[in-house]
Every structure is written in C-alpha cells, then in structure tokens.
Amino acid sequence: MRDLKSIRFLHAADLHLDSPYKGMKNLPNSIFKDIKESTLMAFNRLINLAIDQRVDFVLFVGDLFDQYSASIKSRMVLKHGLEKLKEHNIQVYISFGNHDYRMQEKADLSFPSNTFVFTSQSVSHFVCEKHGKPLAQISGFSYEERDVTEKMVGQYDAKDNSLYHIAMLHGSLQSNNDHDTYAPFLLNDLKGKQVDYWALGHIHQRQIILDRPYAVYPGNIQGRHIKETGKKGCYIVDLSPHQTQLSFFPLQEVMFLQKELELEGVNTIDDFLHALEQYKDLLKTEHEKIFLRLTIQLDETSQIDVNVEQIEEILNMINGPEEEEKYWVWIQDMKVNEDISYNRVELKDSNQFAGEVIKTIDEGKEVEKYIQDLLRHHTFKKHIHWNLDEVKDEIKEEAERLIIKELMKNGDDHAD
Ligand SMILES: [Mn+2]
C-alpha cells in the first residue's frame, strides 16, 4: 500500500518555441508579428499558470524547439521562464524530440538548477522530491538522432514501487500512419508497465489515448498552421494514490479556425458583405486573435455568384481594419459555394474519368516535380515562403477538388 501525498504537475509538449511561421510572411506586419510571437506568448502564459496553480513540477515532453537554429529570442524567453519557476521552487523536466534532437549541444543551452534534462537516448530517471522526501520517479529519454524508430517502452521500469512513476515519452502509436512514427508503441505496451501517468508528446492534436493508467497527448500550446485548429494548451494533473485528475488549460495566443457558414437569401454583394461583417463580429471577442479559413455556402434562394477576384477584393476590405486592432479576426481565405461532395472511394473504383484522375493523384507522390519551375521563379520566391512539407498535401487536395468540380459541372460521361 502506498502512503503518498498527492502531487500536482503541469504536462506540456511540442512547444516549438522558435517556429518561424515562414509561410505567413506575406501577411501585414502587425498580424505577422502577433503570429510569430505567439509560441512565446503562450509559453509565458504557461509559466504563469504553473505558478498560479502551485504545481510541484513541469514536464516538457520533446520538441521544445522547432529547428536547430533555436533562435536567440526563444532561448532567452525559455531561460527567463525557467528562472521564474525556480523562484517558486518548481522543478522542470525536459526531454528533446525529433525536432530538437541533440539540442543541448547544438544550441549550447544552459539551464538553472531547477531544470533537469534527459540527455541520453536510453531511458533514465530522476527522483523528484517534495519537502525533502522522495515522491516520484520521472523517467524519460531524449532523441540523439532525428529518427528514433525503435520501441522504447520496454525500458521504462519503476525502480521503487513506493513512489509515483511518471513516464515521459515523445513518440506515437504504431498504428498511426498520419505522422512519422517515432519510438512506436501499442496501447498494451503502455498498460503493461508500472507507470502511473504516461506523459506523451509528438502528436499536436490533444488526446487522451488511455485512462488506466492515463496516457495523454496534451497537443501543442499554440497552433502552427491553419490545420492546427481550436484551443491549444496543457494539462494540470493531480495524482493521488487513488485517483488521477486532469484539467486542460488553453494557452494559445492566436487561434486557428476553420469554419463553415451557410447564408440564405443573399441577392447582392452588399448583402454578402453585411452577412460577412455580422459573422465576423460574432467571432470577435475582447481577448482573442483569430486566424480563420471560411467556407461559405449560399442557399438556392441566393441570387448571386461570387467569383475569385471578388473574393480577394472582399477579403482586402474586410481584413483591412484588423491591422490596427489589438485583438483581431483575420480571414485568411474564403471559399464560396465550392462545397462539392463526392464519395472518393467509390469514384476511384468506378470507370469514370474522374476515377482515373483520383488514381493518378494518389500514385503521383511528388508534388515538387510539378511545381519546381514555379518554386524557382524569382517573383514567386520573393513573395511566397512555403514550407513545402506543410503545404504539399494541401496542394494535392486542392488540385483534386478543382479538377473533380469541373468534371462534375460538365458531366463526367459527356463525350464531345
Ligand atoms: Mn512536435
């Protein structure tokens, strides 16, 4: 029987503090500046939260930095935050992940004495004390190379059963094909270990994948692009011998959102603008910065059609005043009446031409090949700063949608 005091800790992962947000450089300065600083603002909020909530310690499970430059500013903000925690006797445990592997050497980081860093790629542990008494074993490892593809779970062993055992693991479920699979594990692997809480990292979407014991991805603390939507933050965990309690706290500075809007009886551009303004007002609050992708569907009673040039003009007009605002709603892109739905699997199997198109798209893996001339063009290079890895899938999806839409409009089997 364990006779332990309860502990409270903060679990965060994938901070990517130095995210460059390269793909957004063509936004107006004020908006871009807010986005570029968002990860650091969210981090400062996290530090204050840890202090307000009087946690015993904080866990950062991998990808503290986005890339190996680890900008000077992000390092300073991190150090300042850690020192603030030290003033409040809060300990910090850090492991590095696939983005910031070997960061300790690369960025020549020095941390205050409250901060413990896992440096080895083999699992090791620290014992965390409270009021001079050992309370928890915290196990973890850091990536020494970018690809850790071996299974790591087997190495997590409880050294002393009278202590809580908290395991930090940056990796993914073996079955997860959406992400690069690092340090893969099965749910059963996690269940089979003497661990009270699996503090996971790597997947940016918040999720609890197991509740006995808890295995939790807190997600990142700030979205990094339009696909990382909604609230982002961390968990405060209360662990006692008999129960585990989790509370999520949002920390994001800028919220990415994708919304669908249906409009009725829109007969003029004036109506359209009015409806859009109204919708924006609805989203606007006193304390949020919202970066939005909007899909608008006009019903049959609407008499207008809004073309691409008009959309651009409308967005310029609607977004313009936001540059001056402290809290803003920025509509990054807007699609009108482009909602075509088709059963992709069925269509692919059919003998229609559209099926051939989908097959070809699925087989052609390298988008780069088709856009390399564009990427090399000096005007393009000057204005567009894509991170190709981030936009690749989107380009493919968009291309497919446009082609299928045209085909459906013209009637697929119509021969002329
Ligand atoms: Mn990450």
* Span from the CA of 147 to the centroid of ligand 1 (angstroms): 13
Q: What percent of the chain is predicted at pLDDT more than 70?
A: 94
* Span from the CA of 62 to the centroid of ligand 1 (angstroms): 7
Higher pLDDT, residue 328 or 69? 328
Indicate if the pLDDT at residue 110 is higher than 90. no
User: What is the band of 36 on the pLDDT scale with cuts at 50, 70, 90?
Assistant: very high
- What is the 8-class DSSP label of residue 232? -
Q: Per-residue pLDDT tens for 223-236?
A: 999 989 999 999 99
If you search the block for the tokens 């997600």, which residue do you land on?
219
Q: Per-residue pLDDT tens for 283-300?
A: 988 789 999 999 999 888
Q: Is the pTM of the predicted complex or chain greater than 0.75?
A: yes
pLDDT reported for residue 415: 33
* Span from the CA of 203 to the centroid of ligand 1 (angstroms): 6
In this prediction, residues 104-110 reach a mean pLDDT of: 77
Q: Where are the alpha helices (DSSP H) in 58-137?
A: 72-87, 103-106
Closest CA to 9 of 131, 75, 91, 114: 91
* Span from the CA of 14 to the centroid of ligand 1 (angstroms): 4
* Span from the CA of 289 to the centroid of ligand 1 (angstroms): 23
pLDDT reported for residue 414: 34
Question: 190: which 2 tokens?
Answer: 């996690």
- How many residues are recorded in the chain? 416
In the chain, domain spans: 7-251, 253-339, 341-416
Give how far Cα 205 sits from Cα of 216, 220, 231, Å.
11, 7, 10
1 Cβ neighbours under 8 A, 6+ residues apart: none
346 Cβ neighbours under 8 A, 6+ residues apart: none
Indicate if the pLDDT at residue 194 is higher than 60. yes
Does the domain spanning 7-251 belong to CATH 3.30.360.10? no
* Span from the CA of 170 to the centroid of ligand 1 (angstroms): 9
In this prediction, residues 325-331 reach a mean pLDDT of: 95
Write down the mean pLDDT value for the chain: 89
* Span from the CA of 299 to the centroid of ligand 1 (angstroms): 41
